[in-house]
A and B are shown apart, each in its own frame.
Chain A
Amino acid sequence: MNPTRLTQYVRIQIPAALRRFTDQQREIELEAATVGEALQALAARYPALSSHLFTPDGSLRAFVNVYVEDTNIRQLEGLDTPVKEGTRLILVPSIAGGHQ
């Protein structure tokens, strides 16, 4: 993380499956310079969300994909991906419902 990079205002879109941890809010606004910082800020604001986003050693959980607009951060710089003003981050966890 580059400590001199300015933070930007970003929006994080929360999927239905995780909304029970964010007081049912579907979009959270916060300031961050990178995707990783944004997720940390999100987890700090909603601690119950933390274990669903991160493993105990701090890496992103495999069943949650994070997109910057429409591109997966795995195709960018992962958690170090810088964010621009007004960027939307989208969390997409795996869901399985279909039959019941």
Chain B
Amino acid sequence: MQRILPDLQPEELRRYSRHLTLPEFGLEGQKKLKQSSVLIIGAGGLGSPVALYLAAAGVGRIGLVDFDVVDETNLQRQVLYTTEDVGRPKVEVAAERLRALNPYVEIETYPVQLSAHNALELIGQYDVVADGTDNFTTRYLVNDACVLTGTPNVYASIFRFEGQASVFATEEGPCYRCLYPEPPPPGLVPSCAEGGVLGVLPGLLGTIQATEVIKVLTGIGDPLVGRLLLVDALTMRFQQMKLQKDPACPVCGEQPSITSLQEYTMYCGVPSNGQQALVQTDVPEISPQELQTWLKQETPPVLLDVREPFERAIAHIGGVFIPLRELPEKLSELEAYRSQPLVVYCRSGARSARAVVLLQEAGFERVFNLQGGILAWHEYVDPSVPTY
């Protein structure tokens, strides 16, 4: 779409002088940025550097989608925020910071959860999306909405020390589903215990993401269309895999089966602090307060902690300890408790729910999940129990 490029004020020409003196970029490139808009989904680890660098670069309009508030554990990597901001809504703090960095860009904030109900409308208002979310559900939602609205999706994701980046949903290029038609089933995603991440990693990938956004908006260089960049920060190995558009892709293929946004099932990804992870099965549950009362009675339940050893070292509320991944082989250790009620717990209530199902299938009759796990116990019963 041809648009008349906006003029830049003298102050902007001064501010962006290092861009203007770059032969491949120049005044035209800067004007293209000014007339463009980017929707940044997730103002966290990836979103922080993306937002900072795109605001600094002079992208005309930047939207930020995030319903969360700043938590102290974020400060290890979410460089948009400071210690004073803990407890404040992320998009509010981010807008302040970005406007202070560059008053010539327009910042729009959406303190909402992206969903099938709002994704098309939101994404439709922007030229490009930068996806920095932390769960499969939203990634598929964003991908589908981008394909359906014809909006390029600059993608990055991270795990521990590794990351991926690509540009999906361009007209000729593949989309996320061409690479991964479906999300992994719940039992096979990395669990909450494995959600640790090197703080600098989203900085590295987020800046790559911002670079790709600028390339897509200005037309310079070769964006990562049809290529998946793999980054291993421990070895500093960068590899590129070739990606092809799949003619049978359910959303961007020749005969798409996904032509609108449906409800996307929630999986246990890595829930934010204080939020319960949603689980797919209905398991018997009790609240932390109910457990507290029950533990004081004459026949208290037996507690089973299914987290990883390093989590147990940080905090626990007692009980038998068997990590979830070992539970199938170690059921015999629970034989002594078959006739007693069992309450299973983990960090947030998702792994323990899976353990409850496992135990029920093994014939244990009185098994309960602790709703919200250690996080909820900290919140509602005993704040002296550390959270992590």
Bind each other:
yes
Per a CB cutoff under 8 Å, which of B68, B134, B240 touches A97?
B134
In this assembly, does B228 line the interface, its C-beta being within 8 Å of a C-beta of chain A? yes
In this assembly, does A78 line the interface, its C-beta being within 8 Å of a C-beta of chain B? no
In this assembly, does B45 line the interface, its C-beta being within 8 Å of a C-beta of chain A? yes
Cβ of A67 and Cβ of B241 under 8 Å apart? Answer: yes
Cβ of B45 and Cβ of A99 under 8 Å apart? Answer: yes
Per a CB cutoff under 8 Å, which of A70, A93, A99 touches B242?
A70
Closest residue on chain A to residue B235 by CB atoms: A26
Contact with A along B280-297 (1 / 0, CB 8 A): 000000000000000000
Interface size class of A (residues with CB under 8 A): 20 to 34
Chain B residues with Cβ below 8 Å from A20 are 194
In this assembly, does B213 line the interface, its C-beta being within 8 Å of a C-beta of chain A? no
Cβ of A72 and Cβ of B45 under 8 Å apart? Answer: no
Chain B residues with Cβ below 8 Å from A63 are 180, 182-184, 188
In this assembly, does A59 line the interface, its C-beta being within 8 Å of a C-beta of chain B? no
Contact with A along B39-75 (1 / 0, CB 8 A): 0001011110000000000000000001010000000
In the assembled complex, the Cα of A99 lies from the Cα of B134 at a distance in Å of 5
Per a CB cutoff under 8 Å, which of B135, B244, B325 touches A96?
B135
Taking CB atoms and an 8 Å cut-off, the chain B residues in 263-316 that contact chain A are 269-272
Query: Do A99 and B243 contact each other (CB < 8 Å), given the known contacts A52-B188, A65-B179?
Result: no
Interface size counted on chain B using CB atoms at 8 A? 49
Chain A residues with Cβ below 8 Å from B197 are 97
Contact with A along B237-270 (1 / 0, CB 8 A): 0011111100000000000000000000000011
Query: Do A92 and B228 contact each other (CB < 8 Å), given the known contacts A15-B162, A99-B133?
Result: yes
In this assembly, does B152 line the interface, its C-beta being within 8 Å of a C-beta of chain A? no
In this assembly, does B139 line the interface, its C-beta being within 8 Å of a C-beta of chain A? yes
In the assembled complex, the Cα of A98 lies from the Cα of B74 at a distance in Å of 12
Per a CB cutoff under 8 Å, which of A48, A51, A62, A71 touches B180?
A62
In the assembled complex, the Cα of A75 lies from the Cα of B242 at a distance in Å of 10
In the assembled complex, the Cα of A72 lies from the Cα of B246 at a distance in Å of 12
In this assembly, does B195 line the interface, its C-beta being within 8 Å of a C-beta of chain A? yes
Query: Do A98 and B42 contact each other (CB < 8 Å), given the known contacts A62-B181, A63-B184?
Result: yes
Per a CB cutoff under 8 Å, which of B180, B181, B182, B272 touches A100?
B272
- A92: shortest Cβ distance to chain B, in Å? 7
Cβ of A96 and Cβ of B239 under 8 Å apart? Answer: no
In this assembly, does B161 line the interface, its C-beta being within 8 Å of a C-beta of chain A? yes
Chain B residues with Cβ below 8 Å from A92 are 164, 228, 230, 241
Taking CB atoms and an 8 Å cut-off, the chain B residues in 159-177 that contact chain A are 159-162, 164
In the assembled complex, the Cα of A70 lies from the Cα of B325 at a distance in Å of 33
Q: Determine which residue in B44, B156, B197, B241 has the highest number of CB atoms from chain A within 10 A of its CB, and name it.
A: B241
Cβ of A90 and Cβ of B195 under 8 Å apart? Answer: no
Taking CB atoms and an 8 Å cut-off, the chain B residues in 14-52 that contact chain A are 42, 44-47
Cβ of B181 and Cβ of A97 under 8 Å apart? Answer: no
In this assembly, does B158 line the interface, its C-beta being within 8 Å of a C-beta of chain A? yes
In the assembled complex, the Cα of A44 lies from the Cα of B80 at a distance in Å of 46
Contact with A along B124-146 (1 / 0, CB 8 A): 00000001111110010000000
Cβ of A98 and Cβ of B242 under 8 Å apart? Answer: no
Cβ of A93 and Cβ of B157 under 8 Å apart? Answer: no
Cβ of A94 and Cβ of B160 under 8 Å apart? Answer: no
5 further A-B contacts with Cβ under 8 Å, apart from A51-B188, A72-B241, A96-B157, are A16-B162, A70-B241, A93-B184, A95-B190, A99-B272
Interface residues of A (CB under 8 A from B): 15-17, 20, 48, 51-52, 61-63, 65, 67, 70-72, 75, 90, 92-100
Closest 9 CB pairs of A and B: A99-B44, A99-B134, A95-B159, A63-B184, A99-B42, A94-B180, A98-B46, A16-B160, A98-B132
